[in-house]
Amino acid sequence: MTQFPVITSPRNEKIRAAVKLRRRKHRGRRGRTLVDGARELIRAVGSGIRVEEIYFCPSLCSTTESRRLLAQLDELEMSIYEVTEGVFEKLSYGERTEGFVGVAIPPEVELDDLVLPENPLVAVVEGIEKPGNLGAILRSADGAGISAVILADQKTDLFNPNVIRASLGTVFTMPVCAAPSKEVFNWLKVQGFQIIGAVVDAVACYTIMDYKIPTALVLGTEATGISSVWKDVNAVRIPMQGVADSLNVAASAAVLFYESQRQRLSKQQTSQPSRTTAPVVVPQPDWGNGNS
């Protein structure tokens, strides 16, 4: 492997600049974000995200993804620095240390830039404040085959390092964008979407809706729900059997995503032509002509 420049001081100018990207104002000012983890960096690079810098600590590269990325460093065209464990501790966040942190330029995607399939199913998450919730929603959306995730009236940036980490890097592979709620509502109507909103006191249970047509699923925060922008959409509830009146927004999203997937997979299976079973031919014994 190539010998990369080694940084040994946490006060190094590049390290200090990277650490500042933990704060939203610096991410907005510089148009950069941090990507924690080898798996997330692999997905970012594989999705065409421009990663400008990678910092790695060889002694911490113990996971399969870390070793894989370590073996590929010579092929990457970006600034790469080896750092000591002390420096990496300054760079990293939380207990998850896989030996890699990157500095990347998040993509800027507008609503009209979204490329959707023929029969799209999109998720709209409004006013989400906790990056962990948004990351979990993105991860569920990826697993359930959601076409795109739209952040309405955003309270956190889509490419917050904690969103990236909680989504396991799927924020880079999932079509995503952010826009004001009213703009998102108007765009969905123009595009011909059926709009279904998750509402705690809705009359209709979520299972009775038809999700097999172009559909937008709208979820809000546990505290306030979805805003008045969505007052005329189809409202559904997730039945609760205990004392709590609602699920965590990420859990609610997963429930709706997978019900949508179940219906769509069921439609695909029933629309496939049935196989014609050929008649069973039982071979007849050869008795000869009776003149044995």
Q: Give pLDDT tens digits for 191-204.
A: 999 999 999 999 99
Average pLDDT over residues 111-136: 95
**Residue linked to tokens 């974000």:** 33
Instruction: Residue 67: give the domain boundaries.
Output: 6-105
Q: Are residues 143 and 243 in the same domain?
A: yes
Least confident interval from 94-98, 153-157, 205-209, 283-287: 283-287
For residue 115, give the CATH number of its domain: 3.40.1280.10
Considering 83, 105, 127, which residue would you say is the last residue of a domain? 105
The pTM for the full model equals 0.87
Q: Are residues 73 and 189 in the same domain?
A: no
Residue 291 in domain: no
Q: Are residues 101 and 116 in the same domain?
A: no
Structural domain tally of the chain? 2
Residue 248 in domain: yes
pLDDT of 272: 58
Q: Are residues 133 and 99 in the same domain?
A: no
Per-residue burial over 73-83, b if 16 or more Cβ lie within 10 Å, else e, is beeeeeebbbb
Degrees, nearest 5: CA angle 33-38-42: 80
Residue 132 in domain: yes
d(C-alpha 42, C-alpha 68), whole Å: 9
Tell me the percentage of the chain whose pLDDT exceeds 70. Answer: 90
For residue 15, give the CATH number of its domain: 3.30.1330.30
Residue 136 in domain: yes
Q: Are residues 122 and 264 in the same domain?
A: yes
